[in-house]
């Protein structure tokens, strides 16, 4: 926990607010949270790259910070979509008129697929986008040297 405290608290609070705003702007669909991974990867890399550590330690820190961001988005999506899981448990609930797309041609399987996409896959996509942006930033930093 002490290592998390070493991270600038102001930056963490700003990220939390921006991530919540992005989740709200997408009305629960985390497309803006995924796109937030691009500037987040750039910022994490610029912040970590300024230190004079070994390259493998920089990679580890970039991955760790990206993972923390994805875990926070996972928690936000769990809060937003977690109550919808209860709809699936109750058999008398009207899942057909819930408002999700029928991507799998069956109401129940589409609902489960939608929840898996929102809660699990979207934070993973944010992790991938953040690491990709960090990798591109690292390449640019090495070319400028």
What mean pLDDT do residues 112-132 have?
93
Q: Is the per-residue pLDDT at 115 higher than 90?
A: no
Over residues 67-86, the pLDDT tens digits come to 999 999 999 999 998 888 87
User: Mean pLDDT score of the chain, rounded to an integer?
Assistant: 85
More confident residue, 3 or 133: 133
Task: Output the CA angle 104-127-125, nearest 5 degrees.
Answer: 20
* pTM, 2 dp: 0.85
């Amino acid at each position: 926990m002490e290592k998390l405290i070493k991270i600038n608290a102001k930056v963490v609070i700003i990220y939390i607010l921006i991530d919540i705003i992005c989740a709200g702007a997408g009305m629960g669909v985390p497309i803006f949270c995924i796109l937030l991974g691009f500037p987040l990867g750039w910022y994490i890399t610029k912040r970590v790259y300024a230190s004079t550590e070994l390259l493998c330690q920089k990679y580890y820190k970039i991955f760790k910070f990206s993972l923390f961001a994805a875990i926070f988005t996972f928690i936000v999506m769990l809060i937003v979509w977690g109550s919808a899981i209860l709809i699936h448990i109750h058999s008398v609930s009207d899942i057909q008129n819930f408002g999700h797309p029928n991507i799998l041609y069956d109401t129940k399987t589409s609902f489960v697929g939608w929840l898996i996409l929102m809660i699990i896959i979207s934070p993973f996509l944010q992790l991938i986008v953040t690491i990709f942006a960090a990798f591109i930033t690292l390449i640019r930093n090495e070319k400028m040297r």
